[in-house]
Amino acid sequence: MPSALIGWKVYRRDVSTDISTLIATVGTGISTYIDYGVSAYRTYIYEILPYTEGTIGAPLITNSIETNFFGWYLMPYDIAINGGKVFKFDFNLDSSDLSNEVDVKIYETYTKKPSVGMTDRDYLTGTISCIAGTINVDGTLYQPTDYISELRSFINNKKPKILKSRKGDVWKVVTYGMPQSFNDEVGEQITTITFNFSEVN
């Protein structure tokens, strides 16, 4: 008697390589999966393999999928497990230079050149500033009050997040602070927000 199906193993492969990477193992009740780990302007193929207690079945292979996204994205770090909202930033976007935080100590000696000591600290910090909101189907900006308060709560919830750049770079970060400025010259009083992020383990 065949063993009962336990779930599915999801593999992703960049078409430029022959290497497939296991990105998720999901139960039988899952019929969709969102992959947040892809890079921009790349083409991928997915292989979905059924598995039982002692057997892995033949893969179901998708058509090739080309990624083409614009803007910066911020989402919960555990979104693949627990779900959550994805915030997109691309209106009047200003991403600061990324600072590379390292510890360097220069020790003056009695020789011609000093000694240099470094710790293992090595992480990125930066700032994102943009007009907050989403676009309606008619191309107008949609910026409800609850969107701003929801975003502020998310930015300052002290939990790790995934931050993805326009190029497709992905970092695990914490975010903090969200000052706001208002454009009083338009009736909608468009809000520009700014927040800081720091890369974490």
Q: Residue 135: its pLDDT value, please?
A: 66
- Percent of the chain at pLDDT exceeding 70: 93
Reported as a single tens digit per residue, the pLDDT across 20-77 is: 999 999 999 888 888 878 887 889 999 999 999 889 999 999 999 988 767 888 999 9
The torsion of the CA quartet 56, 58, 60, 63, rounded to 10 degrees, works out to 130
pLDDT band at 10; cut points 50, 70, 90? very high
**Domain residue extents for the chain:** 7-68, 87-199
Pairwise CA distance, residues 141 & 63, whole Å: 34
- Percent of the chain at pLDDT exceeding 90: 42
Residue range 87-199 in CATH 1.10.260: no
Reported as a single tens digit per residue, the pLDDT across 144-161 is: 778 889 999 999 999 999
Reported as a single tens digit per residue, the pLDDT across 164-181 is: 988 778 899 999 999 988
Assigned CATH for 7-68: 2.60.40.10
Pairwise CA distance, residues 64 & 70, whole Å: 20
Pairwise CA distance, residues 166 & 156, whole Å: 23
